[in-house]
Structure 1
Amino acid sequence: MASLQEKKRRWSLTQRQSTLLGAFLTPFLLMTAYFIYRQMAPFGSSSLLTVDLGQQYIDFFAYLRRALLHDPSSIFYSFANGLGGEMLGTWSYYLLSPLNWLLLLCPGATLTTGVFLLTVIKYGLAGLTFGWLLLKTTNQSGFKLVTLATAYALMGWSIANQLNIMWLDAAYLLPLIFYGLYLLMHTGKWRTYVVWLTLMLVVNYYMAYMICLFLILAFVWFAVDQFTNWRHFWGQTVKFALTSAASGLLAAFVLLPTWWSLSQSKAQYTVTTFKWKFEFFPPKMIAKFFMGAFNFDQMPDGTANLFIGALALLGSIFFFADKRIKLRSRITAGIITLFLALSLCVQPLDLLWHAGQFPVWYPYRFSFVVSFWLIWLAAQTLTDDFEPGWLAIAVATLLIVAGTAYVALNLKSFKFLQMNQVLLGLFFAVLALGLTTLPVKHHWIYPLAFFVIGITEVSANAFMSLNNISYVSQGEYGNYTNELQRLVNRVQKKDQGVYRIGKTFLRTKGDAFQTGYAGGGVFSSVLPKATPTFYGNIGSPDGDGFVEYSNGTLVTDSLLNMKYYFQQKQLSGALSGTSMLPASTNKADLADYQAVGQDQWATTYRNQYALPIGYAANQQILTLKNKTADPAQYQSNWLAALTGKVTDQHLYTAENFDQVTFQNIAQQSKITGAVLQRKNLLKPAKITLTFTPTTNDAYYLTFGSTVNSDNATFILNGKTLDQYKTYRNTIMVSAADHAKGKKQTLTIQLKKGSLWLDNFTLYQLNTAKFQRAVTQLKTQPWHLTKHSSRYFRGTITTKTADQVLNTSVPYSTGWHATVNGKRVKTYKTVGMFTAVKLPKGQSTVTLSYWPPLLNAGLLVSLVTLLGLTGGWYLTHRRHG
């Protein structure tokens, strides 16, 4: 028979396992139940896709599946990434979570089920790891531990950032890293700390950066708490620095190539000037401690998400009055808490936590470490033997009353809150205050009451907060994705060459990632700055983190190898005017292309003018400098440099409108650059412009950044003009083609008091001249014999020694070229693409891609791993 001591050990182990299981299952089941209630796929017609999760991340998840299962060559480089781009930066920011392997089980439109699983599992893991931390480092257990773990897993930050699914890895890894630091400071054992911090650096460097800053603060607290003498302190400091550096070196195989990627993208937007000022009135943060203090408007520009529940918040306040804890530790914790609070409202500190860049949406992304810190303080204090003094109770009561009164009296300033939420928050605060100040805490009902109150409040917060958010329906995502996939598959089955595909409809800018083709759009935080600059030059929409090839012309379609186009059909009958493929552009010049296929929803066109991925061109392209802000002239200069013919610089001709009529707008003698003023602000105002093409050439309109749908409605020939909304530079809009003798009417209806017709011009393309130029460039193609996402090999014949191999492969130092087996230099053309100088005659040319600094990173990581392993082995052998 087992001894009594062994039975107690087994019972204790079972209790711990049950507690940890509860810490995982409670947030897991709560969020699963809520999502089922909201009918999220696979349990209904909705999905978890919303905002960036639906517009960006889901496309990267589809790419991950395709890269791992079908196209490993695209792991390092993908032509679905805008016009083409490196992928390690994308992997390290979005895709390296170990849980993402679950997505391999979810093909096609069922990818939303994978997102569902990822989300609830990450909530559960956050509860599990925080529960593990409390079990190892505090006197918490049972229902109270599960309650605090759930408060952490479902804190306001995790609920508000549920859609930023790649950030949620930080929530479950932070407690493990913190426990590693605890072991390092208390026992000197370093492996736990190094392993988990390294994993965090690999999984998401961005969140890891914030955790590293927090670890410095945590180290300071541990060092003060454990202080015995200065020698011991400096020894701990050195050990903390060395082990932290070791984690960085172990993760170098990801961090170094990622650093290179960032140097081409996000790092170029770093803020270098700032002011020491409050970003808002600091007491406004108090409102975020109430349940349901979140809505859509808080995403782009709100205060930090700080909700942790009344029990944890009160516990963190009582920590500073807990005489069981050393005074120096409480003072240090107070200083750290003040620093964290200031970081949430002081501009330079906010910038510090975000690596020198103001977040575009989702402000105060580091607030999860603030919530972690407060709940950690609470967990140390809210033990069964805690008895707060009357002064502590009075101060806590005063803070609750003052905070509630401030929010209630200024409720109009907090549009995400209603009075019933404030009253509910006060109700739970009173319950929490009564519960935490009870003199007797050993009765079995106490931890149960703690659990019921705590779980009810955090559940209500999740329910209220997420009810303010709308989601993409499963049908909207699935139907669109399935149709686009069918269109892509048909083209790729017939044509296995190298080409890009354009389209006149859009669900997301990452559609090419979603369905696996070389496209022209992307939305990514690691988009190289050169790409949006180029798009702005050619007249297509761009932003700091996105490009969308919705405004291609015959010229750019040809030069960018846009060989196929998909155009949505408008349904007839009862569904007239609708399509499950939402239009994103007006493309009249498709009349120049050949229809090669169609189904119920779309027509496929082949562009006979599309140039190959590489061809022989004049060396003038190597020295072409952009000296114009006019996209029509830019395109002409680009093509002329390739052909070497000055006459090709005059592809486009500005045309006058035949007639212009004004309604409730003062007469204007010149349209381009005119400011249209509404005469009577209460009456509609519009301008109607007409022109009748005298040839079958393509006609384009240019719209400056002010000529957009926010300021006016555009109607072309009786139909609202389809156009992607967001653009900051002049765009080119296809207005007419093969329309000789047919009157074209454009009506502009003002939405505001005035409209500046910035860069508003009508252009006619000399189609014959364009065709001659394309024919010339097509005579000397790069005949590819082998190709993949990161490798091209083929032959090309040049007629003269002053020609280059011009490609539409975006330039990068990662691309390496050989000509006839010899390594040669690559050149950047139009600030965007890759070219190689060629000798006269036939040459065999290869282009291959390898991520910059990846080899160096692998070497550093390997040497560090060998060093740490060897050191650990020698140490254990010496003591063995």
Structure 2
Amino acid sequence: MGISLVYFISRQMFPFGNNTILTVDLGQQYVDFYSFFKDTLLHHPERFFFSFSKAIGGQMIGEWAYYLLSPFNLILLFFSQQNITAGILLITILKYGFSGLSFAYFLEKRKITDGLITISFATSYAFMAWNVANQLNLIWTDAPILLPFIILGFFNLMEKKNYWLYPLTLALMFLDNYYMGYMVAIFLCLFFIWYQTSYFSSIQTLLKNIRNFIIHSFLAASSVAVLLIPTFYTLINSKGQYTEQNIHLKIEYNPLKILSKFTIGSFDFEQMPTGYPNLFIGSLGLILFFLYFFNPNKQIKEKISASLVSILLFGSLFFEPLDLLWHGMQFPVWYPYRFSFIVSFWMLFLAANAIQDYSVSIPKFQAAFVSLLLIGIIIYSWINQNKFSYISKETLILTSVFFVLALVILNMHSGFERLILKKILFLSFVIIELSTNFIYSLNNLSYLSQDEFANPSAALSKNSQWISHKDSSFYRIGQIYSRTKNDGLAHNMNSGSYFSSALEKTIPDFYGMIGQPDGDNYVTYSNGTLITDSLLAMKYFIAPRNYAELDSTTSQGYPLMQLSQRQDLSSYKYLHEDRRTKIFKNQFSLPLGYASNASISKIHNIFDNPIGYQTNWLNSVSNSMPQTRYFTAINFNHVIFSNTKQQTTLTNATFKKSNPNKVAKIIFKFTPKTNDSYYLSLGSNLDKDNVEWYLNDEKMNNYDTFRHTTLVNVANHAKNHEITITAKFKNDNLWLENFVLYQMDNKLVKSKIKKIAEQSWQPKYLSDTHLTGPIHISKSHQWFTTTIPYNSGWKAYIDDKEVTPKKVQNTFLAFPINKGKHQITLKYTPPYFFLGLWISIISIGILGIINIKETHIYNHLKKMFQN
């Protein structure tokens, strides 16, 4: 903790300066979850189950199970929203400390090492490369803390010393993070095999151990079934949809590349998306790991068993089927080989078991063999250093020096009187080497400044609070500026955007159909139209002040990241302005539910045609004729081709640079004949990697990445004003995929929305899990349709009579409703929550019955009844 604290102070990380520890997902995702964690515990406990801040709404128990159930997170309750980065820094430092503490406790209790040697191995474990590399993935870093306790409990279970520690700590692991718990469970199976092979005594004992292991492991998992079963249901509808169907028996990369990861500072940004496993544990740990297999004091069967486990673990680092198994049959999106902390634990465990037998010196043959291995690592890394972004001559020289010093320390002849000196040198060396790797690795990363985090957060918080004080009804807020896709979570806003590994697949599918950016684990509501804004209850919009012309003056010295062009905000009511932002109200916004035609149940998925999908959607909910159209494709008045050949057809045409060495661009010009909104459809190929867009000679704001056709608002209230759109090539070719200019009939759309509002639902009681309110249905054979994502946890009631909800548009909750005045009630409980609760209660009871005889209470009760 002291080492990491000194480093963070030297980097001037908040509160010791204007830098923060936030980088990559920690800054773009987790910090917002932590704000949500605090707000939920203190103000909105129902959001543990469901929240409308998750995109357009979604279950949350799976998010808590993956992101938020670390007990360390309770520390954040003592930090404000603006200072939460200081709380995250404190948690990071504590987790380094507790990793070392847990490993030290394990070594001492097992009598594997003691004193200064224990501290040495604890430091190696705390600062192993996996911990350092995943400092930015705090949601996983409880696993290395719990793993030594779980293994200690395993030993106790096998030796019948204490039955409680194993199921208790394993259950806590599943509760803390089921994903890491899954990996630990796989390792426990391997560890059980190693143990039974190494300590085999009889078939009878083996069978008893198998029974105890299975029963206690199962009960540990089932004791948290109240969390795991609803989470499993969530996974089926989210990550489970992306399970790899085709498994290839292949080597993912040359295994020799792993050698480069045993050098100093072997981690940087390029390692995050598609890197190699993080295995650095220090020179002494690495050397002693190899020496374990030469140790004459270890039984042959123990070393053979350890060899097989090691082969399986290391094989998992490059053999695709094993890699997929550890990751739940899905390739990780960024941060590959997430289970490598288990490999590091195993290596240090074997190294610690070898140290006592090499406390005096290393036999010459073994020293020569290890020296050749270390020389091989250096030579391979030196020859191939250009292939690894994290390797430099400086780090290789440092690695070489540490290798030599490690061998020297281990080969020091030390009688009893010199043993203390050798242990001091051992510890000092470990501290210096592991600290050096820690510094070099983290120096390869860049971080958000406190201003970059706090200033946009303050603006968002201010806007959200201003709106909430003015309006107590349900609404969603569209963002024209953002800090992250999880701003809604952090600032108690229903913003329509979200980024999570547990996002239900139906949500990005829906966003892709209406012309919004989407991915497997994120959605962004940045490209709305009057139709989607109104039907999705996007009642308010927050935008940078003068967002079309952002500069340092209007942004008060820092940028508010603008997401998109929304010239059509001028059609909405201006409400409020401060030094940084403006707030608009969509006076055409509809509530969460409204009556619609039965045809809503027959709308099919339409990808890459947001115009068609929005038209069908509005026609269904407004009881309009299917042929009613709200968009008209129009031609450009003039097109200028620069350094590319002219073509008469633009949509889906491919253009090529005439001269590859010169800039190529196409300029499209049109003059609106009305004050309607004009939208440009852009296929997924027209993203930032292929083209740079300009609107009226200013860079056009559009979300950077999208995988389906999106709509960009390029004009509104611009009658008789020429609009210029420029496409600047980024490559030699440009494919104008789904490139069409559309004019919306604003008047017709508004009239349809007003008609829908006449039969809309007005909830009087409102929370994230319980909504109640009246609705008047004026026609027969209607459907009550909501923009609440369908989930089997929702129960629906019409006039206190339960009805069965249906899924429409493959997304939303709806059900048929009769003509007349009705009271509609919706209540949410996570699917299988009560089933999981009963299983947890029963499992905990069984564990108590099984294990209570091992406690002093049982002995006292026994004596009392005997007397």
What CA deviation, in whole Å up to 9, does each residue of 1:249-278 have, x standing for no partner? 111111101101101100110102111111
* TM-aligned CA distance change 1:257 to 1:269, over 3 Å: same
Question: Would you say the 8 A contact 2:608–2:683 is kept in 1?
Answer: no
Which whole-Å CA distance do the structure 2 matches of 1:580 and 1:101 have between them?
A: 32
Which whole-Å CA distance do the structure 1 matches of 2:22 and 2:607 have between them?
A: 41
Question: Would you say the 8 A contact 1:527–1:545 is kept in 2?
Answer: yes
What CA deviation, in whole Å up to 9, does each residue of 1:518-547 have, x standing for no partner? 111000000000000000000000000000
- 489, 498, 503: which one aligns with 1:522: 498
What is the CA distance between 1:800 and its match in structure 2?
2.1
- Does 2:345 correspond to 1:366? no
2:830 aligns with: 851
1:416 aligns with: 390
SS at match of 2:632: strand
1:789 aligns with: 768
2:658 aligns with: 679
Question: Would you say the 8 A contact 2:545–2:577 is kept in 1?
Answer: no
The equivalences for 1:861-876 within 5 A come to: 861-873=840-852, 876=858
AA in 2 matched with 1:192: L
Which whole-Å CA distance do the structure 2 matches of 1:495 and 1:441 have between them?
A: 79
Which whole-Å CA distance do the structure 2 matches of 1:622 and 1:779 have between them?
A: 21
- Does 2:58 correspond to 1:85? yes
Which whole-Å CA distance do the structure 1 matches of 2:823 and 2:206 have between them?
A: 64
- 721, 724, 744: which one aligns with 2:700: 721
Which whole-Å CA distance do the structure 1 matches of 2:359 and 2:759 have between them?
A: 85
Question: Would you say the 8 A contact 2:452–2:558 is kept in 1?
Answer: no
1:60 aligns with: 33
- Does 2:432 correspond to 1:432? no
2:217 aligns with: 244
1:172 aligns with: 145
- 591, 597, 620: which one aligns with 1:618: 597
* TM-aligned CA distance change 1:721 to 1:407, over 3 Å: same
AA in 1 matched with 2:800: G
1:497 aligns with: 473
* TM-aligned CA distance change 1:515 to 1:390, over 3 Å: same
- Does 2:514 correspond to 1:538? yes
1:598 aligns with: 577
- Does 2:735 correspond to 1:756? yes
Question: Would you say the 8 A contact 1:499–1:518 is kept in 2?
Answer: yes
AA in 2 matched with 1:435: I
The equivalences for 1:473-492 within 5 A come to: 473-492=449-468
Question: Would you say the 8 A contact 2:360–2:414 is kept in 1?
Answer: no
Q: TM-score, normalised by structure 1?
A: 0.95
Which whole-Å CA distance do the structure 1 matches of 2:780 and 2:251 have between them?
A: 63
1:354 aligns with: 327
* TM-aligned CA distance change 1:683 to 1:295, over 3 Å: same
The equivalences for 1:66-105 within 5 A come to: 66-105=39-78
AA in 2 matched with 1:115: I
What is the CA distance between 1:401 and its match in structure 2?
1.4
Question: Would you say the 8 A contact 2:592–2:787 is kept in 1?
Answer: yes
1:809 aligns with: 788
The equivalences for 1:131-142 within 5 A come to: 131-142=104-115
Q: Which runs of 5 or more structure 1 residues have no equivalent in the other structure?
A: 1-27
Which whole-Å CA distance do the structure 2 matches of 1:215 and 1:486 have between them?
A: 49
Which whole-Å CA distance do the structure 1 matches of 2:862 and 2:199 have between them?
A: 26
SS at match of 2:672: coil
What is the CA distance between 1:589 and its match in structure 2?
0.8
AA in 1 matched with 2:527: N
1:113 aligns with: 86
Question: Would you say the 8 A contact 2:359–2:410 is kept in 1?
Answer: no
Which whole-Å CA distance do the structure 2 matches of 1:139 and 1:851 have between them?
A: 46
2:176 aligns with: 203
Which whole-Å CA distance do the structure 1 matches of 2:361 and 2:728 have between them?
A: 70
AA in 2 matched with 1:575: T
Which whole-Å CA distance do the structure 1 matches of 2:56 and 2:748 have between them?
A: 26
What is the CA distance between 1:452 and its match in structure 2?
1.0
- Does 2:489 correspond to 1:513? yes
* TM-aligned CA distance change 1:538 to 1:412, over 3 Å: same
2:439 aligns with: 463
What is the CA distance between 1:836 and its match in structure 2?
2.3
* TM-aligned CA distance change 1:441 to 1:251, over 3 Å: farther
- Does 2:553 correspond to 1:575? yes
SS at match of 1:645: coil
What CA deviation, in whole Å up to 9, does each residue of 1:135-168 have, x standing for no partner? 1113412222111101001100000010000110
Q: Which moved more, 1:358-367 or 1:437-446?
A: 437-446
AA in 1 matched with 2:483: R
- Does 2:612 correspond to 1:633? yes
* TM-aligned CA distance change 1:390 to 1:649, over 3 Å: farther
SS at match of 1:759: coil
* TM-aligned CA distance change 1:142 to 1:533, over 3 Å: same
Question: Would you say the 8 A contact 1:382–1:436 is kept in 2?
Answer: no
What CA deviation, in whole Å up to 9, does each residue of 1:293-334 have, x standing for no partner? 111000001110000000100111111111122111011111
1:19 aligns with: none
SS at match of 2:210: helix
Q: TM-score, normalised by structure 2?
A: 0.97
Which whole-Å CA distance do the structure 2 matches of 1:865 and 1:576 have between them?
A: 59
Question: Would you say the 8 A contact 2:552–2:558 is kept in 1?
Answer: no
1:151 aligns with: 124
Question: Would you say the 8 A contact 1:77–1:87 is kept in 2?
Answer: yes
Which whole-Å CA distance do the structure 1 matches of 2:198 and 2:607 have between them?
A: 64
What is the CA distance between 1:387 and its match in structure 2?
4.3
- Does 2:102 correspond to 1:129? yes
What is the CA distance between 1:291 and its match in structure 2?
1.1
What is the CA distance between 1:817 and its match in structure 2?
0.3
SS at match of 2:274: coil
What is the CA distance between 1:713 and its match in structure 2?
1.3
AA in 2 matched with 1:168: T
AA in 2 matched with 1:503: Q
AA in 2 matched with 1:598: E
Which whole-Å CA distance do the structure 1 matches of 2:158 and 2:751 have between them?
A: 74
1:388 aligns with: 362
Q: Please, what is the CA RMSD of the aligned residues? A: 1.4
Q: Which runs of 5 or more structure 2 residues have no equivalent in the other structure?
A: none
State the number of aligned residues: 853
Which whole-Å CA distance do the structure 2 matches of 1:874 and 1:220 have between them?
A: 28
